[in-house]
């Protein structure tokens, strides 16, 4: 009986702590009207899996229905936004932050905390100013297959001056860019500042 009571109290403490979490940390603000079956997540910075990313704000993620199913064509296809305090992310810094992000993700999911920094390679194939990037990430996909994977990505910046916020929108998929998933990713409806 004491153990049951302790379990109930622990559960109530967890619920109470979640109730005190600000709504902004749990609600998408950068996306609207998502397609059926797409899942979302909102994570405040600093990110648990990549605490050395020095950004302030939140990350909002939108996952395609087949995100974690390697048999699906939309496997590991998703969009995310870094809604952060305004600051410059020129090419070198963007490269470093993405490297920290994917290395941290790899280490957290694979359990290999001491994984080499060479476990993740970021390359920019197109650089169109400090407002738009295209490239790819080469890594070992740790969620499902544990096999080498190349993830293509596109990123663009939106300044929200009224909110004193910068939004970096990313879309990513291992599919080639002529695949229909890219139309879906690029077509996700974003909110105005």
Residue 115: predicted pLDDT: 77
Pick the closest to residue 153 from 84, 94, 87 (CA basis). 94
Q: Per the domain annotation, does 105 fall within a domain?
A: yes
Q: Per the domain annotation, does 13 fall within a domain?
A: no
Q: Per the domain annotation, does 5 fall within a domain?
A: no
Residues near 51 by Cβ (< 8 Å), separated by ≥ 6? 104
**76: its two tokens:** 């590991």
Answer whether the bond into residue 56 is a cis peptide, omega within 30°: no
Q: Per the domain annotation, does 191 fall within a domain?
A: no
Residue 124: predicted pLDDT: 85
Find the CATH number of the domain harbouring 29. Answer: 3.40.1000
Residue 111: predicted pLDDT: 92
What CA–CA distance (Å, rounded) separates 136 from 123? Answer: 5
- Order of strands across the sheet with 78-84? 39-44, 57-63, 78-84, 165-173, 148-160, 132-140, 120-127
Q: Per the domain annotation, does 43 fall within a domain?
A: yes
Predicted TM-score (pTM) of the model is: 0.82
Residue 27: predicted pLDDT: 85
Spell out the alpha helix ranges (H) of the chain.
2-19, 91-110, 180-186
Q: Per the domain annotation, does 84 fall within a domain?
A: yes
Q: Per the domain annotation, does 160 fall within a domain?
A: yes
Pick the closest to residue 166 from 87, 79, 52, 62 (CA basis). 87
What CA–CA distance (Å, rounded) separates 160 from 163? Answer: 5
Per-residue pLDDT of the chain (193 residues; tens, 9 = 90+): 433 333 323 332 332 333 333 334 568 899 988 999 999 999 999 999 999 999 999 999 999 999 999 999 999 999 999 999 988 788 889 999 999 999 999 999 999 887 788 889 999 877 777 788 999 999 999 999 999 999 999 999 999 988 899 999 999 999 999 999 999 999 999 998 8
Range of the domain at 172: 22-186
The total number of structural domains in the chain stands at 1
């Amino acid at each position: 009986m004491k153990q049951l009571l302790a379990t109930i109290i622990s559960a109530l403490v967890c619920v109470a702590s979640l109730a005190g979490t600000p709504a902004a940390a749990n609600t998408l603000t950068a996306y609207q009207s998502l397609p059926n079956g797409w899942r979302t997540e909102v994570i405040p910075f600093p990110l648990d899996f990549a605490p050395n990313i020095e950004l302030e704000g939140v990350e909002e993620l939108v996952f395609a229905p087949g995100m974690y199913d390697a048999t699906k064509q939309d496997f590991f296809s998703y969009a995310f936004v870094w809604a952060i305090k305004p600051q410059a992310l020129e090419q070198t810094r963007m490269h470093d932050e993405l490297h920290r992000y994917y290395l941290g993700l790899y280490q957290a999911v694979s359990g290999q905390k001491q994984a080499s920094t060479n476990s993740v390679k970021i390359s920019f194939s197109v650089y169109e100013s400090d407002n738009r990037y295209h490239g790819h990430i080469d890594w070992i996909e740790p969620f499902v297959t544990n096999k080498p994977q190349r993830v293509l990505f596109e990123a663009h910046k939106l300044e929200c001056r009224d909110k004193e916020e910068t939004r970096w929108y990313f879309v990513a998929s291992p599919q080639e860019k002529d695949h229909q998933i890219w139309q879906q990713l690029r077509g996700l409806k974003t909110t105005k500042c």
